[in-house]
């Protein structure tokens, strides 16, 4: 089996490399569902998957990434709810709790790794990790048993379309152990081989015969792909080669001192891309969005490329933005929407906005391997930026010298002052401007 590199990110979530096979499984957001027998989960379970949403559906409860025991007496149910995730835990008392992430900031067209661990009985605890970062750690009800069936992409066959996931799912793994954060981080970017004994189901989702999804563990718990419209002659699922002309790892909006909106996007590679356009709307409809930029020419580099566009034609309110890449062969792709709320703090339009010294942002966050730092100076000053690890040790120092008033940026490649790679963890960025200092935190995830 051959594998190739692609880039996954979050958003303001990290760009993370992941080696995987040529295909992922596409779910249409209407009635596609994969179900497979419980591979042996009893009182403890860990489930992992990569997913890439094509829409940011809300619905009533969210759209299904995976579920355990999806009958009337459900146990675990992971849903995408807009730009956040919800983890539902159902108890034997017929009660249900859901725990929602805060700050996941999921984006359309970006890959994310999610892992859920759950334990029944006295411990009855559930955890959720996004891109290896702990997002939820909660006690739950005395969970129902894990039942006889697990599902991907929808709660069950024939469930409402509002519960159906729209996007791609890949590399699904089920374990009969509680995976630790370090274990999740160590293996989420790799193809597992050989298969450890506590890996009880493994669906790379590389190949299928349109009805069977193959489990690579022994004994195999092969899954069945089903579509509620039995008369539909098309295959229930299509496989998709995820190599794209653009490997986008960040698309985000931040404010400027002038109350404008800065759009930033970062690519890991570009192939035959003519350039980019920015679109804006006051609603979430791309169909009625206005193009607000000219063609921003692509660099077509194999490595990381950083782009910016400032939208100055905004007033107070909430705006939706899309990024369109246009290729030389005539095709295009659309990323977004992302939103930004413009708040005008100065009521006097004749008075210019007050420029304050400090950090604007560290992005993406989490990041791998590069973080971009943006800061503003109210006046010319001598600048030094330090990167500090969780032990309080300065691992990297940037002596910027004297910088003029205005906005500035730099990047950190995740290496220390000696050129060695820094390890996964939380890092503090300290901006020293004269006698004053300002800080921001970010997470390096490998």
Q: What is the DSSP string of 59-93?
A: -SS-EEEEEES-SSS--EEEEEETTEEEEEEEBTT
Residue 225 Cα to chain centre, angstroms = 25
Overall pTM > 0.85: no
Residue 74: CB partners within 8 Å, gap ≥ 6? Answer: 67, 68, 88, 90, 96, 144, 155
CB atoms within 10 A of CB 151: 23
More confident residue, 332 or 367: 367
pLDDT at 107 over 60: yes
Q: 3-class SS at 181?
A: helix
Q: Rounded mean pLDDT of 211-215?
A: 76
Least trusted range by pLDDT, from 4-13, 19-28, 167-176, 278-287: 4-13
Q: State how far the Cα of 36 lies from the Cα of 359, in Å rounded to an integer.
A: 49
pLDDT at 386 over 70: yes
| pLDDT in the model for residue 245 | 56
| pLDDT in the model for residue 355 | 61
Q: 3-class SS at 162?
A: helix
Pair type for strands 381-388 and 332-342: unpaired
Q: CA torsion angle for 397, 400, 402, 404 (degrees, to 10)?
A: -130
- Residue 27's beta-bridge partner residues? 167
Nearest alpha-carbon partner for 323 in 251, 253, 267: 251
pLDDT at 258 over 80: no
Instruction: Provide the percentage of residues in the chain whose pLDDT is more than 70.
Output: 81
Q: State how far the Cα of 14 lies from the Cα of 426, in Å rounded to an integer.
A: 13
- Residue 280's beta-bridge partner residues? 290, 321
Most confident of 228-237, 255-264, 394-403, 404-413: 394-403
pLDDT tens digit sequence for 51-85: 989 888 877 788 999 988 756 556 788 999 999 99
Show the tokens assigned to 23.
């295909």
Query: 230 falls in which pLDDT band (50, 70, 90)?
Result: very low
pLDDT at 124 over 50: yes
Pair type for strands 425-433 and 112-119: unpaired
Q: Rounded mean pLDDT of 288-303?
A: 86
Using alpha carbons only, how large is the chain's radius of gyration in Å? Answer: 23
| pLDDT in the model for residue 10 | 28
Q: Which domains does the chain have, with CATH numbers?
A: 4-241 (2.60.120.200), 244-351 (2.60.40.10), 355-446 (2.60.40.4070)
Show the tokens assigned to 123.
């411990």
| pLDDT in the model for residue 121 | 76
pLDDT at 351 over 50: no
With tokens 């990047």, the residue in question is 411
| pLDDT in the model for residue 16 | 30
| pLDDT in the model for residue 344 | 66
Nearest alpha-carbon partner for 205 in 24, 19, 2: 24
Pair type for strands 84-90 and 96-100: antiparallel
Residue 63 near residue 80 (C-beta atoms within 8 A):
yes
Q: State how far the Cα of 260 lies from the Cα of 314, in Å rounded to an integer.
A: 7
Show the tokens assigned to 194.
């050989």
More confident residue, 141 or 151: 151
Nearest alpha-carbon partner for 261 in 332, 315, 208: 315
| pLDDT in the model for residue 206 | 60
pLDDT at 370 over 80: yes
Least trusted range by pLDDT, from 82-91, 241-250, 293-302, 338-347: 241-250
| pLDDT in the model for residue 130 | 92
Phi/psi region, residue 136 (left: phi>0; alpha: psi -120 to 50; beta: rest), is beta
| pLDDT in the model for residue 241 | 38
pLDDT at 391 over 90: no
Nearest alpha-carbon partner for 82 in 63, 109, 66, 110: 63
Query: 345 falls in which pLDDT band (50, 70, 90)?
Result: low
Residue 160: CB partners within 8 Å, gap ≥ 6? Answer: none
Q: Rounded mean pLDDT of 192-198?
A: 79
Residue 2 Cα to chain centre, angstroms = 25
Q: Which helix (H) or strand (E) holds 212?
A: strand 212-213
If you write DSSP's letter for every residue of 319-369 in order, what string do you get? EEEEEEEEETTS-EEEEEEEEEEE----S-TTSPPPP--EEEEEESSSBSS
Whole-number average pLDDT of the chain: 78
Show the tokens assigned to 333.
């792709």
Q: Rounded mean pLDDT of 13-27?
A: 47
Q: Rounded mean pLDDT of 99-108?
A: 89
Residue 274 near residue 326 (C-beta atoms within 8 A):
yes
Nearest alpha-carbon partner for 397 in 425, 428, 376, 441: 428
Helical ranges in 175-316 per DSSP H: 181-187
Q: Rounded mean pLDDT of 246-259?
A: 76
pLDDT at 197 over 60: yes
Cα of first residue to Cα of last residue in the chain, in angstroms, is 24
pLDDT at 2 over 50: no
Q: Rounded mean pLDDT of 136-165?
A: 82
């Amino acid at each position: 089996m051959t594998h190739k590199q692609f880039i996954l990110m979050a958003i303001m979530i990290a760009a993370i490399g992941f080696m995987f096979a040529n295909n992922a499984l596409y779910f249409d957001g209407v009635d596609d569902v994969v179900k497979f027998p419980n591979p042996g989960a009893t009182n403890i379970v860990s489930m992992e998957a990569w997913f890439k949403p094509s829409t940011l559906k809300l619905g009533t409860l969210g759209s299904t990434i995976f579920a355990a025991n999806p009958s009337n007496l459900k146990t675990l149910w992971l849903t995408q709810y807009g730009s956040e995730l919800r983890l539902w835990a159902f108890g034997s008392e017929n009660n249900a709790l859901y725990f929602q992430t805060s700050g996941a900031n999921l984006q359309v067209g970006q890959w994310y790794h999610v892992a859920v661990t759950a334990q029944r009985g006295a411990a009855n605890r559930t955890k959720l990790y996004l891109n290896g970062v702990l997002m939820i750690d909660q006690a739950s009800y005395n969970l129902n048993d894990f039942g006889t069936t697990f599902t991907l992409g929808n709660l069950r066959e024939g469930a409402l379309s509002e519960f159906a996931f729209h996007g791609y799912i890949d590399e699904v793994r089920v374990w009969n152990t509680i995976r630790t954060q370090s274990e999740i981080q160590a293996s989420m970017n790799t193809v597992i081989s050989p298969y450890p004994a506590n890996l009880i189901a493994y669906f790379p989702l590389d190949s299928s015969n349109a009805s069977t999804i193959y489990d690579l563990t022994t004994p195999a718990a092969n899954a069945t792909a089903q579509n509620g419209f039995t008369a539909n002659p098309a295959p229930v699922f299509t496989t998709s080669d995820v190599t794209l002309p653009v490997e986008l790892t960040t698309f985000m909006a931040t404010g400027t001192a002038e109350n404008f909106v800065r759009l930033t996007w970062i690519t890991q590679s570009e192939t035959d891309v003519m350039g980019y356009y920015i679109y804006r709307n006051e609603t979430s409809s791309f169909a009625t969005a206005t193009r607000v930029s000219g063609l921003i020419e692509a660099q077509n580099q194999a490595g990381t490329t950083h782009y910016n566009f400032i939208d100055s034609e905004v007033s107070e309110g909430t705006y939706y933005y899309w990024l369109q890449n246009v290729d030389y062969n005539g095709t295009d792709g659309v990323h977004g929407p992302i939103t930004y709320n413009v708040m005008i703090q100065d009521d006097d339009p004749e008075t210019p906005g007050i420029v304050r010294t400090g950090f604007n942002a560290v992005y993406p966050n989490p990041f791998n391997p590069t973080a971009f730092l943006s800061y503003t100076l109210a006046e010319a000053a001598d600048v030094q930026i330090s990167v500090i690890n969780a032990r309080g040790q300065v691992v990297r120092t940037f002596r910027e010298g004297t910088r003029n008033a205005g906005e500035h940026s730099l990047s950190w490649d995740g290496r220390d002052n000696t050129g060695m790679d820094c390890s996964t963890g939380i890092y503090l960025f300290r901006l020293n401007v004269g006698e004053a200092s300002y800080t921001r935190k970010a997470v390096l995830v490998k």
